[in-house]
Amino acid sequence: MSFVTRREFCRVGAGSVVTIGSGLSLLANSRDTSTCTLGYSTYALPNLGAIEAISFIRSLGFDSIEFTITADRSMAPERIADEDRSKVAAHLKLHQLQVTALMENLRPMETPERHVADCQRLERGCALATALRPDAPPLIQTVMGGGDWSQRRQLCLERVRDWLKIAEKHRVVIGIKPHRGHAMSKPEDAIWLIEKLGNPPWIRMVFDYSHFVFRDMPMPELIRQSLPYTSHIAVKDAELHDGKVQFSLPGESKTIDYVDLLKRFYGGGYRGDVCVEVSAQVWKKAGYKPKPTAKICYRNLQRAFVDAMIERPN
């Protein structure tokens, strides 16, 4: 069975069809549209090189990988030579592991100088995405930074217009992620931005319900609202302790019903990646064990896929 990328976005509700990148030849070959992939982000593996991460993540049973490409990581575009990019791409192919996303950390609402630097990072990130998977480059996902959304969203819009030009040029999707405590903190904020840009296929949304739970934002309505714009799903748990939210491993706290989440997205036509993101609140703790942690995450999400009756690639 062939892999499916999150570029494909099929039916959304009865009689409505939304396909991310339709007519833009985002996929070189026809792909099976019955599956979703289960992935793991190297965000939780800061000390593991790309080659070892690929082998390890695939050995657990994951279908896909998200590379963290921030400046401090070994996969940062400015740190990985062309020869090494080819080696990583070859290793992905050898292990039949799909690269679905690259994680950045951009700040479109900060100084003009920071915006210029971020655009340069995006250019390099897009080149890396294309080198790793020329036929269907992984999306580049990022949070958007802090501030008051009502006061800063217009600036954000103008800055993301520049991102859109870069994305169009390289034919790489940029995924913007609403984040708890950030300026753009709700799906409706990301949707406003996308619609103001003309709903382009190159700027989409990353959906992570851990940033919405405990905020009087019911999952069914959020998914219904977000489906037409979502190009990537990130998963982790969130717990409420003494009025403060703490992130934890997906499936461990039982605060998020992943079977329901998967069923709703899949039933609405989503055929993309579901990626485990272990929070820095977890991996920066003393005594953190990256490999046992990844095994726990796979066990929990694999079970959710089975219970939701969602097929995965081979």
What is the CATH classification number for the domain harbouring 171? 3.20.20.150
Residue 291 lies in a domain: yes
- Paired with 274 in beta bridges are 38, 233
> Quick one: pLDDT at residue 32?
56
Instruction: Report the candidate in 220, 190, 193 with the shortest Cα–Cα distance to residue 205.
Output: 190
- Does position 12 have pLDDT exceeding 50, yes or no? no
Q: What is the pTM of this model?
A: 0.90
> Quick one: pLDDT at residue 13?
33
Instruction: Report the candidate in 247, 238, 231 with the shortest Cα–Cα distance to residue 280.
Output: 247
Q: What is the mean pLDDT of the chain?
A: 91
| pLDDT grade for 33, boundaries at 50, 70 and 90 | confident
Q: Which residues contact 231 (CB under 8 A, 6 or more apart)?
A: 6, 7, 9, 20, 139, 173, 175, 204, 205, 206, 272
Residue 94: give the domain boundaries: 37-307
Residue 288 lies in a domain: yes
Residues 253-276 have a mean pLDDT of 97
Q: How far is CA 123 from the centre of its chain?
A: 18
* pLDDT tens-digit readout, 67-114: 999 999 999 999 999 999 999 999 999 999 999 999 999 999 999 999
* pLDDT tens-digit readout, 213-237: 999 999 999 999 999 999 999 999 9
Residue 51 lies in a domain: yes
Residue 173 lies in a domain: yes
Q: Which range is least confidently modeled, 7-11, 44-48, 73-77, 124-128? A: 7-11
- CB contact at 8 A, 182 and 143: yes
- Paired with 102 in beta bridges are 67, 140
Residue 120 lies in a domain: yes
Question: What total number of domains does the chain contain?
Answer: 1
Residue 70 lies in a domain: yes
Residue 229 lies in a domain: yes
Looking at the chain, list the stretches that DSSP marks H as alpha helix, in order from N- to C-terminal side. 50-60, 82-94, 112-132, 149-170, 187-196, 219-226, 258-267, 280-283, 290-307
> Quick one: pLDDT at residue 314?
74
Residue 191 lies in a domain: yes
